[in-house]
Amino acid sequence: MHYCSDATFDEDLTAISAEFKYYYECLMAPNARSVMSALKRMGELETVGMVATGHGPLLSHNVDELIGRYRNWSKNKAKAEKIVGIFYVSKYGDSDKLVQAVASGVSKTEVAVEMVDLSEDVDLQELREQASRFTGIVVGMPPASDQKIQTALSTILGSVHDKQAVGLFETGGGDDEPIDPILTKFRELGLKPAFGAIKIKDTPTESTYKQCEEAGTDLGQLLTREQSIKHMKSLDADLDKALGRLSGGLYIITAQQGDVKSAMLASWVNQASFKPLGLSIAVAKDRAIESLMQVGDKFVLNILEEGNYQGLMKHFLKRFLPGADRFEGVKTQPAENGAPILSDALAYVECEVGSRMDAGDHWIVYSTVYAGKVSKPEALTAVHHRKVGNHY
């Protein structure tokens, strides 16, 4: 975990749990099958008294509990029905970090990920099996001059089928295989592009990695769309309508870290405490802004005005392409914490994430508030009424 305190060991499990889970989701979840293999080998040991981690406190007080969490999380990921295969060349260009970003985005949708490094000694028969088995295919453009890797790429093209989705990204290695001809070949084979080809002309920035993450999420959502529709239809009609009668306000959450900005429309927002002043927000796990709302992150809750919210609501309900500027054409001003304040909002509150709770397909994000302002004291908050309770 990326966690630093004066404690050498894991005495305070509550303090480290959120960071432990976040590190797993970002770096380990895309490799769940490898994690399961490593845990199986660890199982041959009689006892594990300590885990000397590379990041964060040493694990000594809660070894069984934390290893158990890795096992349970990885089992759930590994048994997923939908699997995306990411084919790339390790240590070529900026491929490693770009691949991790795409994989992190896919994992947000509960779709499993397998990474295939084409620079290793790849068995072509196994490669054919993998390429035909995966539900989605992602290719990081390999070097065009490496004949061995070109053979592997040809094997992938000869093994895919028209029920798969595909996405391609450049890796910035200087000798990348041209992306457009390869994309054309996949299309001719009947594969459906899940996101626009990501072309990298300069050194990748945080915005580039965010674009890759959002592209991975788009792919995962495309693969699970039918399953999501089936789930929406499965709830009892009376219960569905009764849940829909729960009303909420209308808000837009905005966040910014460096050159990465994001936003989302929200209605599941409630004040949660007086001392300290705090509120809770339910954030779907596959939302782009979710990765900017980790413990310690800061954001702005913009409160929309009754009778004057349709423009902002319509704008932020749009489906944005990966990497698109969600604030284009919207009047904003910077908050003290750097996040955009929507100038047409009724009020705003500046927040800092204190903790997160796993709630199925959402995170319950508890945040403390430390600044805010109302632009129209007499106006009322916009209220959202739904007809059903099992989707937005």
User: CA 106 → CA 50, 207, 212, 287, distances in Å?
Assistant: 32, 17, 10, 11
Residue 121 CA to residue 255 CA, distance in Å, equals 43
Q: How confident is the model at residue 354 (pLDDT cuts 50, 70, 90)?
A: very high
Q: Which residues contact 293 (CB under 8 A, 6 or more apart)?
A: 253, 255, 283, 299, 353, 356, 363, 365
Residue 25 CA to residue 17 CA, distance in Å, equals 12
Per-residue pLDDT, 122: 85
- Superfamily of domain covering 237-384: Electron Transport, Fmn-binding Protein; Chain A (2.30.110.10)
Spelled out in words, what is the top-level CATH class assigned to the domain 82-228? Answer: alpha beta
Give the mean pLDDT of 4-17.
Answer: 92
Residue 55 — φ and ψ, nearest 5°? -135, 130
> In whole numbers, what is the pLDDT of the chain averaged over residues?
91
Q: How confident is the model at residue 4 (pLDDT cuts 50, 70, 90)?
A: confident
pLDDT tens per residue, range 195-248: 999 998 889 999 999 999 999 999 999 999 877 777 666 667 888 889 888 888
Among candidate residues 2, 59, 50, the one with its CA nearest the CA of residue 26:
2
Q: Which residues contact 385 (CB under 8 A, 6 or more apart)?
A: 247
pLDDT at residue 52 is higher than 70:
yes
Residue 379, SS3 per DSSP? coil
Fold match between domain 82-228 and domain 237-384 = no
Give the mean pLDDT of 12-16.
Answer: 92
List the structure tokens of 83.
């699997």
Residue 376 CA to residue 347 CA, distance in Å, equals 8
pLDDT tens per residue, range 290-329: 999 999 999 999 999 999 999 999 999 999 999 999 999 9
Give the lowest-confidence range in 9-23, 28-42, 62-76, 318-332.
Answer: 28-42
Q: How confident is the model at residue 80 (pLDDT cuts 50, 70, 90)?
A: low
pLDDT tens per residue, range 356-371: 998 988 999 999 999 9
Q: Which residues contact 370 (CB under 8 A, 6 or more apart)?
A: 277, 350, 351, 352
Domains of the chain, by residue range, sit at 13-77, 82-228, 237-384
Measure the CA dihedral 188/192/196/198, to 10°.
-70
- Do 146 and 140 touch, CB atoms closer than 8 A? no
- Do 233 and 359 touch, CB atoms closer than 8 A? no
Give the mean pLDDT of 89-101.
Answer: 91
pTM of the shown model? 0.81
